[in-house]
């Protein structure tokens, strides 16, 4: 039987003013939660990221997001046994 496993993450809002000190404090808890979830449902074929990845949408925010969050996140996935999951983003914009 074929299966398709996915992980849903939403609304990171990376770059939100005052958020910088928060990520280092919650990162390890997030990694641990991912490990527990991976044991039950992984490996994941895709990561669905809905909502706002970054706060303002600036190029600098996206670059920092890649360096500080997404790069390490994908490395953590590989450590858990999820290799190169597809990334589907569904950004939200306001008018």
CA 39 – CA 91 distance, rounded (Å): 28
The confidence score (pLDDT) of residue 79 equals 96
pLDDT band at 36 (very low <50, low <70, confident <90, very high): very high
CA 16 – CA 56 distance, rounded (Å): 8
Read off the pLDDT of residues 46-81 as tens digits, 9 standing for 90 and up.
Answer: 999 988 888 888 889 889 989 988 999 999 999 999
pLDDT band at 1 (very low <50, low <70, confident <90, very high): low
CA–CA distance from 31 to each of 21, 56, 58, 77, 86 (Å)?
17, 25, 26, 9, 19
- Residue whose token pair is 């008018």: 95
Q: For residues 1-12, give the mean pLDDT.
A: 88
Q: For residues 3-27, give the mean pLDDT.
A: 86
* Domain boundaries defined on the chain: 6-90
């Amino acid at each position: 039987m074929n299966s398709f496993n996915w992980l849903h993450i939403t609304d990171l809002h990376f770059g939100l003013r005052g958020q910088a000190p928060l990520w280092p404090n919650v990162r390890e808890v997030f990694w641990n939660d991912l490990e527990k979830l991976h044991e039950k449902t992984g490996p994941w074929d895709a990561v669905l990221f809905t909502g706002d990845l970054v706060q303002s949408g600036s190029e600098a925010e996206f670059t920092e997001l890649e360096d500080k969050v997404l790069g390490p996140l994908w490395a953590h996935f590989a450590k858990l046994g999820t290799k190169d999951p597809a990334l589907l983003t569904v950004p939200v914009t306001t008018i």
